[in-house]
Structure 1
Amino acid sequence: MKEIIKIKETCLYIHDLEKAKEFYHGKLGLEIIHYLEERHIFFRAGESVLLCFNPNDSKLKTSPPPHYADGNQHFAFEVSQADYDTCKNNVKDKGIEIIDKLIWASEQESFYFKDPENNILEIVPVGVWD
């Protein structure tokens, strides 16, 4: 489907939404769009949305259809090439451990770190897949 231009939202399943709030809002600075204690918290990430659902609540829903996942999940935040090093330094300055770095075929680097639920997050510069 050529009409699809990007992923508008992605979601993680997180048991402790307060820790998610502290990490994604407090450390990464994402704006909170909506928070319903014990159920979900939604963040704005540039033009996209990061949905964090409590899997124990989400799997019991009838509408929208039940959904949940278990285990370590992964997604990547994209930053401009000019902001990549600043972003990497900001992550380190917040006391977040960078657990891996990769050089891709584009000769650009990306780096990985974990959130409090051990989900694997990545920062990629614009153009990494070009």
Structure 2
Amino acid sequence: MDSIKIKETCLYVTDLAQTKAFYNGLLKFKVIGEVPGRHIFFRVGSSVLLCFIAAVSRKPGSLPPHFGSGQLHLAFEVSKEQYHKTKAEVEQNGIQLEQEYDWGGGFLSFYFRDPDLHLLEVVMEGMWERGKE
């Protein structure tokens, strides 16, 4: 199963308009699917970020029900060369950084929140590949 990759990640949100304003308007992620009152999907590199209204997606339908709650976490990856530029762009968009962390070995990441208080992180490329056999 070494060839398996995560293709999509899902967050549960309360307001699709504010979710779109944040992820598309501020972070510039391209909208690739949208059903008013149900979900909005964004392209993030080669992956997809799915944002659902939990109360709607938990109802049985053509797909199995799913939902979640709480302050979830996900991380985005950028090259070491783009890290400081990405951090500056996030701050210039009025998004407050919560913390920057030095993971050692020249790897940094920074944390911020979306409108639903999910914890988002931007990590330097290669951080998770350290020590890989």
Tell me the TM-score normalized by structure 1: 0.95
Which residue type is aligned with residue 95 of structure 1?
G
Contact map agreement 1:33 1:44 (CA 8 A) in 2 = yes
Q: Percent identity?
A: 47
Q: Which amino acid aligns with 1:54?
A: I
1:20-42 deviation line (CA, Å, top 9, x unaligned)? 00000000000000111110000
Runs of 4+ in 1 over 4 A off after TM superposition: none
Amino acid at match of 1:52: C
CA distance, structure 1, for counterparts of residue 79 and residue 3 of structure 2 = 24
Task: Give distance in 1, aligned partners of 2:60 and 2:84.
Answer: 41
Aligned to 2:121: 122
> How many residues get paired?
129
CA root-mean-square deviation: 0.9
Shift in Å, 1:125: 1.0
Cα displacement (A) at 1:67? 0.4
Describe the SS at the equivalent of 1:2: coil
Following the alignment from structure 2 to structure 1, what is the Cα–Cα distance between the partners of residues 47 and 64?
22
Q: Which amino acid aligns with 1:111?
A: F
C-alpha deviation, 1:63, in angstroms: 2.7
The equivalences for 1:1-130 within 5 A come to 1-4=1-4, 6-129=5-128, 130=130
User: Any unmatched runs of 5+ in structure 2?
Assistant: none
Q: In structure 1, what is the Cα distance between the partners aligned to 2:52 and 2:34?
A: 10
SS at match of 2:14: coil
